[in-house]
Amino acid sequence: MACDRRALLRAGALALALAASPVLAREALAQDSKIPVAVIGGGNIGGTIGGLWVKAGHPVMFASRHPEDLKPLVEKLGPLAKAGTVEQALAFGDAVLIAVPYKAYPELGTAYGASLKGKVVLDAGNATKARDGELAAEAESAGIGATSAKYLPGARLVRAFNAANYRLFAQNAHRSGAPMAVPIAGDDKQAVAVAEGLVRDAGFEPVVVGGLDAARQFQMGSPGFQRDVTGPEARKAFGLAP
């Protein structure tokens, strides 16, 4: 509960800054951006993005059903990285990155729904027919944002880090020149603001495409998926204001 209160306070302050001025928002992020993050899943996306947050100064707890398997990852990343159970990670993090196979979402929501309620949750999952079966069909029909929200009710959901292969993220984080764009979508403005800060800390430029329904525009198989573009290029492609 303490972590939830800290996250809400930070998000609320950031939302006020956003309303006042983009400059103030950047200052708020700079002053208080090193929040603890839970990464559910230590595979390619979770390990890559979580590792970038560790390098940016965030304490990160990686979680799986077998946290002992994450020992090599956290040892490589250093003292800000920890491994734990899903329960431990959700208690630890002010924000959560979900990076597990999409077929696990219903079980994840059932088992940990109470812990996810009210949390800022960055949803990086993609649904594929070969692996996820009927869930992939549901995501295609209803939209990936609505489908994730159905199985993770109560979470302050933001679609993020799903629109590219982990190799693109690893190669382009903090690159020289214009940063790579990361499209995001969410209905909770405060949660979106937190996600924007975490995207920047990972070394990318967040591009807010719209509410959760807008996540259709960059879900797997869409024209907005797997694009290595800059922020201005992404905003143009999504029909957003420059």
pLDDT of 59 higher than 50: yes
Contacts of 40 (CB under 8 A, 6+ apart): 46, 63, 64, 86, 89, 90, 96, 97, 98, 99, 100, 108
Confidence of residue 32 (pLDDT cuts 50, 70, 90): low
3-state SS track over 98-130: ECCCHHHHHHHHHHHHHHHCCCEEEECCCCCHH
Confidence of residue 25 (pLDDT cuts 50, 70, 90): very low
Q: What is the pTM of this model?
A: 0.85
Q: Which CATH class is domain 35-238?
A: alpha beta
pLDDT of 74 higher than 60: yes
Measured CA to CA, the distance from residue 20 to residue 175 in angstroms comes to 30
pLDDT of 13 higher than 70: no
Confidence of residue 226 (pLDDT cuts 50, 70, 90): confident
What does the pLDDT average to over 158-179?
96
Coil/strand/helix, residue 66: coil
- pLDDT > 90 fraction of the chain, expressed in percent and rounded: 76
Domain residue spans in the chain? 35-238
Coil/strand/helix, residue 72: helix
pLDDT of 11 higher than 80: no
Q: Which residue has the higher pLDDT, 195 or 20?
A: 195
What does the pLDDT average to over 110-132?
94
177 φψ region: left (φ > 0), alpha (ψ -120 to 50), beta (else) = left
